Amino acid sequence: MQNADVAPDTRFGAHMQTVGGLHNAFREGAKVGCDVIQIFTKSPQQWRARPLEDAQIEAFLNASRETGIRCLASHDTYLINPASGDPELLQKSRDALVDEMERSSALGIPYVVMHLGAAGKEPEADALQRLCDSVAYVLERAPENGATLLLETTAGQGTCLGHRFDHLEQILKFTGDHPGLGVCFDTCHVFVAGYDLRDEAGYSATMAEFDERVGLSRVRVVHANDAKKELGSRVDRHDHIGQGQIGSEAFRLLLTDPRLAHAAIVLETPKEGGMDPTNLAALRTAAGIST
């Protein structure tokens, strides 16, 4: 797998737009104070994209060098459902996820964050097994020494999978602790799924269960998002750091937790109002870093 080590004081960033070319995400990231960024390598609303050209890859790598910013993660598209009970959609989703891995590997992006899909009208147990099979399918076909696939914790809206830690545990066990598989911990998703983070007692209990079932060492990226909705609501609505239902103390606990010092911290907070610099400053303050 690609080297993606981060230093505790230079691991903060945000999901950035790629209008005008993938390389532009670095310049946008520099404007708001990112150390690292996350992107979509193609439109999140489309199945297909043109293959990456050598000139695109070169421009992307040059922009990273020029700005000193690393693109640590890409995110898969919204259309993919690796747990679908529709055979055609399931195969299409699996192949699309392999394509995501190939694109990110070509760009030197270490991680691909994946949503875990939804059961729809199918039994959850059957959907979870399809999801396990899909992850194994992708890992088998992903480029050697390329990107690492990250299972993202989810809010659990509708019939979406991944809102319980045991869902991730089942996938990890099925794939035999594969070195090409890790985890993305989304604070908003975990909270609205019913796991408390707001104070030391809640944070400690949540992380103890996560560590037992999944393993904190497997977390490679943290999506740092406050939540507009309350604990256990299973409604995925992100808010600015310290301004939502989770509150500032949870981020202080998380960002000073030595067990997560290796993980990149990426904002997915609302873009309206140009709040990325404010949210990044809040994260750095929570981590005890002078801003």
Confidence of residue 290 (pLDDT cuts 50, 70, 90): confident
Which pTM value belongs to this model? Answer: 0.97
Cα 118 from Cα 131, distance rounded (Å): 9
Over the stretch 182-236, which tens digit does the pLDDT of each residue have? 999 999 999 999 999 999 999 999 999 999 999 999 999 999 999 999 999 999 9
Over the stretch 11-21, which tens digit does the pLDDT of each residue have? 999 999 999 99
Whether residue 3 is predicted with pLDDT greater than 70 in this model: the reply is no
Mean pLDDT of 166-192: 97
CB 110, CB 4: distance < 8 Å: yes
Confidence of residue 69 (pLDDT cuts 50, 70, 90): very high
Domain spanning 12-286: which superfamily?
A: Divalent-metal-dependent TIM barrel enzymes (3.20.20.150)
Mean pLDDT of the chain: 96
**How many CB atoms are closer than 10 A to CB 183?**
25
Residue 250 confidence (pLDDT): 98
The Cα-based distances of 27 to 23, 36, 265, 275 in angstroms read: 8, 11, 19, 16
Residue 257 confidence (pLDDT): 98
Mean pLDDT of 83-107: 97
Over the stretch 226-269, which tens digit does the pLDDT of each residue have? 999 999 999 999 999 999 999 999 999 999 999 999 999 999 99
Domain ranges (residues) in the chain: 12-286
Place of tokens 């977390």: 219
Mean pLDDT of 109-128: 97
Place of tokens 């097994």: 129
Residue 171 confidence (pLDDT): 98
Confidence of residue 1 (pLDDT cuts 50, 70, 90): low
Confidence of residue 51 (pLDDT cuts 50, 70, 90): very high
Whether residue 2 is predicted with pLDDT greater than 70 in this model: the reply is no
Lowest mean pLDDT among 14-18, 33-37, 92-96, 177-181: 177-181
